[in-house]
Amino acid sequence: GENVEQHPSTLSVQEGDSAVIKCTYSDSASNYFPWYKQELGKGPQLIIDIRSNVGEKKDQRIAVTLNKTAKHFSLHITETQPEDSAVYFCAANTGNQFYFGTGTSLTVIP
């Protein structure tokens, strides 16, 4: 089955700096890659997603890039704010289920 790896596991940045989280996947049939933000005690919330026919997508301070050949995709958060502090999960969709990465705990230091 699909295997999704995510790095780093923890990330601390100064407020205003950029944060980058990277994921790789193994199954070339995966065609949909969402990113979820999970705040303490809450369920994962979709923040951005990308489909395999697109290389990059941006939504205000958040962008995602996808390299199908290399089977990796990345989340970029610019101008980070303290409220961006959370755990971020990448996922790959193969068929009817999501395979999640191990998560990145992002801390934005004011």
Which tokens in the block code for residue 85? 């502090």
Other beta carbons less than 10 A from residue 27's beta carbon: 16
Among residues 7, 22, 49, 71, which is the contact residue for other proteins, using CB under 8 A? 49
The contact mask relative to other proteins for 58-77 (x = CB under 8 A, - = no) is --------------------
**Tokens 């089977």 sit on residue:** 71
34 vs 75, which CB is nearer to other proteins? 34
Q: What is the dihedral of CA 101, 56, 105, 102, to 10 degrees?
A: 0
Planar angle of CA 98, 47, 67, nearest 5 degrees: 65
Under the criterion CB under 8 A, does residue 42 sit at the interface with other proteins?
yes
Confirm or reject binding of residue 99 to other proteins (CB under 8 A).
Answer: yes
Contacts (CB under 8 A) with other proteins, residues 5-34: 32, 34
Please tell me whether residue 81 binds other proteins under the rule CB under 8 A. no
CA distance 5 to 73: 10
Are 92 and 98 within 8 A, CB to CB? Answer: yes
- Does position 46 interact with other proteins (CB under 8 A)? The reply is yes
Q: Give the residues lining the site for other proteins (CB under 8 A).
A: 32, 34, 36, 41-46, 49, 51, 89, 91, 93, 95-103
